Amino acid sequence: MLRFAKILGMDDIKRLADDIYRERIIRARRTSSAEKLMEGPRLFDAVCERMKAGIRAQAPDADEDEVQQLLLQHIRRLRNVEEHAVYTPLECCDDGR
């Protein structure tokens, strides 16, 4: 990175980064609502594939079912961490409601 920075100069890199950011904003504004809505599931699928690749690297002998189970366990663990203290159990009423 430093060699690259010396060749271009820090001002050039800042300008390039700003141009890339600006282009991403313009592209996002042009994207239809339907396309934006579909991006969530696409991103989730891509992340799951990366997570499964990591699981396979850690457990090379695991078959596809085991990889899938480990993925689900990992997602549940992440969800529990994310939701920690967000939801609290309700006190049960005496009449069973």
Residue scoring higher pLDDT (16 or 3): 16
Dihedrals phi, psi of 65, to nearest 5 degrees: -65, -40
Mean pLDDT, rounded, for 20-48: 94
In angstroms, rounded to a whole number, what is the distance separating the alpha carbons of residues 19 and 16? 5
> So what's the pLDDT on residue 64?
96
pTM: 0.59
Cα separations (Å) of 63 from 4, 52, 56, 86, 93?
Answer: 43, 11, 9, 35, 47
